[in-house]
Amino acid sequence: MFHKEGQKIIFISLILVGGLFLLIDFIEIPWLIKTLQIGLLVFFILILQFFRNPKRHTQHNDTHVISPVDGKVVVIEEVKEPEYFKDKRLQVSIFMSPINVHVTRYPVGGKVVFSKYHPGKYLVAWHPKSSEENERTTVVVENQKIGKVLYRQIAGALARRIVNYAKKDMNVVQGNDAGFIKFGSRVDLFLPLDSKLKVNLDQKVKGGETIIAEL
């Protein structure tokens, strides 16, 4: 199953690869033909892998914050969140490599009370300033039981497009598709300070399934 954001790119890539396969047949060097064919197949497989959208089995729980993306936990620290809360929060950052699933999912269910896009730079996603200076979107979902949770999609050095489906006043379901970030990136979560963390630094997490914290 592939994400809708990749349908156009997959179609164009298929036509491009198919056309190049036909042109390669005019080459009279067997080893070169084989090498180019393998290279084209690898390229197409990588495109398919990047836009895959595996089904996830979310255990809905209004006291849990689940991982919005696949990747590795690279930051756990107490920080001041300057855009929306303007107070101290517990930040959990998840880095996605180009080989991870890049679908963003809602970490909690509830009502979207804030959604904003920010143009910006394309620093590497693990850079300390990427959360404030890179292209990004900030979304706050308010849950009746645990209050407000903020997540931020951040473009990386390779990412050139962030897709965000969250609109203000929408009612959203935990684990459902919230967007997509193309080609490497990171997502920050900002949680209340009394959150009970269920993950550690360098832990690999799975979007829509791994519990990040309990509130």
Which residue numbers are catalytic?
Answer: 185
Asked if residue 150 lies in contact with residue 84, where contact means CB atoms within 8 angstroms, the answer is yes
N-to-C CA span, the chain? 33
What token pair was written down for 158?
């390779």
Calpha distance 66→142 (Å, rounded): 14
CB atoms inside a 10 Å sphere around CB 196? 11
What is the helix (H) or strand (E) element at residue 34, kind and residue range?
A: helix 30-50
Strands (E), 21-145: 64-66, 71-81, 87-96, 103-105, 110-118, 136-143
